[in-house]
Amino acid sequence: MTQLTIALSKGRILEESLPLLGRLGLEPAGDIDRLLRVPSKDRNVSLLIIRPADVPTYVEYGAADLGIVGKDVLMEHGGSALYEPMDLGIARCRLSVAAKKEGPRPDGVRRLRVATKYPEITRRHFAEKGEQVEIIKLYGSMELAPLVGLADLIVDLVATGGTLKANGLVEIETITQVTSRLVVNKAAMKMKNAAIQNLLAQFAEVVGGKP
C-alpha cells in the first residue's frame, strides 16, 4: 500500500484537525506531545508534528505528501509550489490591521511603522494601497508593539477580538479571512495519485467541501 505522510502543527490547527482525523480513522497512535513523527491508526498514514510556518516547506520539498496549514501561513510563504485542493474550514480567524484606540499616527511626520509576523502580506497590502510603511518583523505578541512605541500599527490574526481589546487596540481594516487548508506536494499528487485522491475524497466527505 502507498504510504502517506501528513504535516500538522501543534496548537490550534492540531486541536481542530483531530476531530477530522478521527472521523477518517487517522487519529495519532502515539504521544503527540513528545513525538515529532507519529503513526496514525491507519498504518499507511503517518503524521509529522511541526511548527505552523514550517508546514509549507515540508510539503513543498516532499518531506510530507500533504499538510494542514493556515491560509495566513500559505499567503506569507507564497503557495504556488503547492496544490491547495481544499478549505477545511477550521481554525477560522482573520488577518487585520490594528492600531491604538487613539489612532495610529503619533506625530504625522515619519512613515508609519507596522509590526507583524507577516512581512510579505503586509508589504503587498500597503503597496496595493500606495502607502509607504516601514515593516518591523516580529515572531509573536504583536499586540505589545503599539503599547511600547515600537510600532504604530500591527498586522495580526484576530479571532474573537478579545486580545486586541484587552490591549487597548482596535481593528481598523481586515486584510483577509483565514481558515486552514489541505495542501499537497505536486510530485506526490502524480506519483501517489490514487492514494491522495482517495484521502481527499474522504476529507471532502467530512468537511462538506469538494475534492
DSSP state of 36: S
**How near is the Cβ of 26 to ligand PRT at its closest, in Å?**
20
For ligand PRT, which residue has the nearest CB?
70
Residue type, 141: S
Give the Cα separation of 14 and 52 in Å (integer).
Answer: 10
Which positions touch ligand PRT (CB under 6 A)?
11-13, 51-53, 70, 72-73, 91, 93, 140, 156-163, 178, 180
Kindly state the smallest distance separating residue 158's Cβ from ligand PRT, in Å: 4
The three three-digit cell numbers of residue 168, written as one number: 487597548
What residues have CB less than 8 Å from 83, skipping those under 6 apart? Answer: 183, 184, 185, 186, 189
39 vs 161, beta carbon nearer ligand PRT = 161
CA separation, residue 175 to residues 58, 107, 121, 122 (Å): 26, 25, 9, 9
Identity of the residue, 77 or 192, whose beta carbon is nearer to ligand PRT in the bound complex: 77
d(CA 168, CA 66): 39
Q: Cell digits for 101?
A: 484606540
| Nearest CA-CA partner of 14 in 71, 77, 67 | 67
Of 132 and 160, the one with the shorter C-beta distance to ligand PRT is 160
C-alpha 64/C-alpha 72 separation (Å) is 20
Measured from the CB of residue 161, what is the shortest distance to ligand PRT in angstroms? Answer: 5
CB of 189 to ligand PRT, least distance (A): 23
Residue 106: CB minimum distance to ligand PRT, A: 23
Q: Which is nearer to ligand PRT, 119 or 198 (CB)?
A: 119
CB of 114 to ligand PRT, least distance (A): 15
CB of 51 or CB of 110, closer to ligand PRT: 51
Q: 79 vs 192, which CB is nearer to ligand PRT?
A: 79
Q: Are 157 and 140 in contact (CB under 8 A)?
A: no
